[in-house]
Amino acid sequence: MEQLLALFSDYTFQIVALGTGFLGLLSGVVGTYATLRKESLLGDALSHAALPGIALAFLLIGKKDLVYLLGGALISGLIATALIQWISKKSTVKFDNALSVVLSSFFGLGLVLLTHIQGLENANQAGLEKFIYGQASSMLLSDVQLLLAVGAGILVLVLLLWKELKVFAFDPVFTQTLGFQTRILQFILSAMIILTVIFGLESVGVILMSALLIGPAVAARQWSDRLGVVLILAGLFGMVSGVAGTFISSIGRQIPTGPTIVLVLSLIVMISLIFSPKRGLIIRWVNQRRKKKAYIKQIEEKQERSEKYAR
Amino acid sequence: MSEEAITLKHLTVAYQSVPVLWDVSLGFKKGKMTAIIGPNGAGKSTLIKAMLQLIKPLTGEVAFSLNDHQMAPYKEVKQQVAYVPQNSSVDWDFPTTVLDVVTMGRYGRLGWFKRAKKADKEIAAQQLAKVGMQTFADRQISQLSGGQRQRVFLARALAQEADIYLLDEPLAGVDMKTERIIMNLLHELVAEGKTVIVVHHDLQTVEEYFDEVVFINRSLMAAGSVSSAFTDKNIEETYRTDQNVGERSAQP
């Protein structure tokens, strides 16, 4: 108990929990739009493809300055997503295949470069592999401050463009005929997804970042049919996962933050899928049985009646 | 001679290198109800989408004439042109209500950043009542039948309070009640002097529902008033052959 209290009052823990909690909130909100627009897989590609960018940025600059590393991540992520779009548009290869080819080759390149870096004699080299699984404890106050500033900007934009993003996510073609430049809306949406993913790389890691984007949205959708409520719930689920995951990984030693956050999130997703009062597995099963029984009863009654007439 | 609401000149549309519409020059009469008919894959939806700049035509012009505009490009009259897409084009599991979807028809008039006000919601509710769906206002949209979805899309277009209405197969796969409601409302629009253009698939009802008819099969086959142009000869010619336009002329 005392240990827990000590942890909660620990300055580093507070900073890190603030960071991952806010990241979860942001992922929930942005991820809801990404899944509604069916673009969540692009987030997956972006985060995996960020790894070689991180490694190359380190090789070029020679130090672990987060801004440069994330800059490298951004560039290689963008190259990969552009490559995917280009391949699926210009060649006969379908989008999902193009995505998995590009995603895994970039990720493979990233792993090769990281292994190479680990063999270098450079005191700075240690710790780059945190980007694979995420290590939230390495978040600095300045990292969290940057995340808060950019994230707040994104949330304000979501509020300002509430109706535009809603109608665009629902029906982009109609949105265009209303006179809105859908290219601008698409750019804003993509930029929000990209920024969220890039900010998640340090604490959640390249492999599991897309889970933090998709999970809260999927869970939240189970509980409401209103976009506003879904967004708030998704933000809440993401935040709880972030804080709880950070907490658990801080208690033990050598527990990476990313997987822990995603495990907490998976639990929320699972509960939502099973127990949601409208869309959950249980209620659907109950309804199905009820209907079946009602039909059987109807048919039996009909048979009885016709038998009576026959007599 | 009545005026033209939309004038097409040499409109040619291609997907990648395959031409889908070849050199269509055509006028849609103002204040009339026009059917666009032709076999599957004839380019009817493409024609509408090209008119709305949703697909960029290879060449050709589309000009709109309204009360305060003459031969204007689409971007100047966007708010006056309402479009009802095929209802299969959206995700009906989207977390939103029926009234919300209809209110989206007001967004264009509101412009960027402004929120829908009470007045907009009221207009949306009125349109919903017109299509006989007022009791569904708070329902999630996935709970609707195909016909009800189509009526919601029509209500959304009505909420735009436009002068020209373009509808892509609004009667495809809908029940009789929906068909009657939709056609009554479209006739009301025409009676108010608005222009209605419908991609239509049912040859049986053309004479009953429409004033004008346009036959399309990759290129313009025939056009005119239903009484003069809706002939067995035009129908047969439009539906007879698979038109492979452009291929001959593209090869040396």
Chain B residues 151-210 within an 8 A CB cutoff of chain A: 156, 160
pLDDT (0 to 100) of residue B2 = 60
Cα separations (Å) of A182 from A171, A175, A185, A266, B96? 11, 7, 5, 33, 20
Q: Please give the residue range of the domain that contains residue A307.
A: 280-311
Query: pLDDT band at residue A5, thresholds of 50, 70 and 90?
Result: confident
Whether the complex's predicted ipTM is more than 0.95 is answered with: no
pLDDT in tens, A75-104: 999 999 899 989 988 888 998 899 999 999
Q: Please tell me whether residues A290 and A196 are part of one structural domain.
A: no
Q: Please tell me whether residues A114 and A251 are part of one structural domain.
A: yes
Chain A residues 33-62 within an 8 A CB cutoff of chain B: 36, 38
The mean per-residue pLDDT over the stretch B100-109 comes to: 96
pLDDT of A2 strictly over 90:
no
Query: pLDDT band at residue A185, thresholds of 50, 70 and 90?
Result: very high
Q: Please tell me whether residues A290 and A168 are part of one structural domain.
A: no
Structure tokens at B67: 């009360």
Structure tokens at B49: 């989408």
In 10 A of CB B9, how many CB atoms? 14
Query: pLDDT band at residue B244, thresholds of 50, 70 and 90?
Result: low
Q: Please tell me whether residues A86 and A167 are part of one structural domain.
A: yes
Is A180 at the interface with chain B, CB within 8 A?
Answer: yes
Contacts of B112 in chain A (CB under 8 A): 161, 164, 180
The count of structural domains within chain B is 1
Rounded Cα distance, B209 and B207, in Å = 6
pLDDT of B43 strictly over 50:
yes
Q: Please tell me whether residues A58 and A172 are part of one structural domain.
A: yes
pLDDT in tens, A20-46: 999 999 999 999 999 999 888 888 889
State the residue for tokens 């209809």: B102
pLDDT of B27 strictly over 90:
yes
Whether the CB-CB separation of A105 and A84 falls below 8 Å is answered with no
CATH, residue B64: 3.40.50.300
Q: Please tell me whether residues A284 and A266 are part of one structural domain.
A: no
Q: Please tell me whether residues A71 and A129 are part of one structural domain.
A: yes
The count of structural domains within chain A is 2
Asked whether the beta carbons of residue B94 and residue A178 sit closer than 8 angstroms, the reply is no
CATH, residue A54: 1.10.3470.10
Kindly give the pairing relationship between strand B18-29 and strand B33-37: unpaired
Residue of chain A whose alpha carbon sits nearest to that of B160 = A178
Q: Please name the residues in contact with A286: beta carbons below 8 A apart, sequence gap of 6 or more.
A: none
Chain B residues 106-135 within an 8 A CB cutoff of chain A: 107-108, 110-113, 115-116
Is B71 at the interface with chain A, CB within 8 A?
Answer: no
- The proportion of chain B whose per-residue pLDDT surpasses 90, expressed as a percent, equals 83
pLDDT in tens, B152-167: 999 999 999 999 999 9
Rounded Cα distance, A90 and A260, in Å = 40
Asked whether the beta carbons of residue A226 and residue B97 sit closer than 8 angstroms, the reply is yes
Q: Please give the residue range of the domain that contains residue B42.
A: 4-250
Contacts of B91 in chain A (CB under 8 A): 36, 38, 170
pLDDT (0 to 100) of residue B251 = 40
Exposed (0-12), middle (13-18) or buried (19+): which is A2, by Cβ within 10 Å?
exposed
pLDDT (0 to 100) of residue B247 = 46
pLDDT (0 to 100) of residue B240 = 81
pLDDT in tens, B157-211: 999 999 999 999 999 989 999 999 999 999 999 999 999 999 998 999 999 999 9
pLDDT of B1 strictly over 60:
no
